[in-house]
Amino acid sequence: MYKIVTHPGTAHKDDFLSVSVLLATFGHAEIFRREATAEDLNDPDTYVVDVGQQLAPGRHNFDHHQDSSLPCAFHLVMQHLGHHDAAMLMFAWYPHMSMMDVSGPYRTAEHLGVDSSILFASSSPIDGYILSTFASLESLNDLNPLYDLMKAIGENLIALIDQKLERLERLKVEAKVVEVKHLKAVTSDINNSPKLAMELYLRFLDDDKIVMSIIPSNRGEGWELLRLGNHTIVDFRAIEKDPEIRFVHGSGFLAKTRKRLPLEEVVKLACMSIKEP
């Protein structure tokens, strides 16, 4: 059986996600939160992650603290497993997670061009609870519910890479770009996880005139019309009294139709939502 050793004390996304993808890869392993021993570092069946002061993938040692030029341990593990390059393309959070771990929130905020308070304000109580639960343990096995959660997170992350890549290729074939007045909307009638990889497709299109998406609603049988980015010229409150509209968000960025109208009809509604210059 494989063992995974990571550091004791405060847990971070770096060590948590490293352990999660390793669990997903192995299917079963024992996890220990302690300092790594020489025996751990020399045992190829023991994966030493984010501790140990060594990067030696051949012996399955993945620490970055000894070299400031290295990315976080999670990136090192993902490189070893062959998922890193795809993750860089698929997940907007992936490169910045490493910067947060290696350089801290202030350098990361500077790189992103935002105030550091934004990063602190966006921290999640869900993250905090799960990481603090992991931090409270000295060891973890499949008798603990957290083990199954971590394994599921790792499995989902790895599977999502392939799912998003597959969906991106499907969008390139099936999605359409339609005119809404002097601007554009991207439309897709894919029902299963309709938003999956849409951000990647928009990046592929690289068209500043696309200001909204029209996709199947994931709540109800109609369409979802969604403002993209900060294009406040789109305001769906303009159509909230239309009998075909079931819901409009109070701030006007989102609307849902009652049923799946023909595309030309929902495009007319979209055009009515474009404010005149």
* Mean pLDDT computed over every residue of the chain: 95
**Confidence bin at 123 (pLDDT 50/70/90):** confident
Neighbours of 165 (CB within 10 A): 15
Domains, the chain: 2-164 (no CATH), 175-272 (3.10.310)
Phi and psi torsions of 88, nearest 5°: -60, -35
pLDDT tens sequence across 36-53: 999 999 999 999 999 999
Q: What is the pLDDT of residue 129?
A: 96
Cα torsion for 87, 108, 253, 257, to the nearest 10°? 20
Phi and psi torsions of 179, nearest 5°: -85, 135
> Which residues lie closer than 8 Å to 10 by C-beta, 6 or more apart?
135
Q: Global pTM?
A: 0.89
Reading the block at residue 125, the tokens are 């109580």
Reading the block at residue 196, the tokens are 């999956």
Q: What is the pLDDT of residue 70?
A: 97
Nearest to 27 by CA among 144, 152, 162, 134: 152
Q: What is the 3-state secondary structure (H, E, C) of 201-226?
A: HHHHHCCCCEEEEEEECCCCCCEEEE
pLDDT tens sequence across 138-190: 999 999 999 999 999 999 999 999 999 999 999 999 999 999 999 999 999 99
Average pLDDT (114-129) is: 87
pLDDT at residue 114 tops 90: no
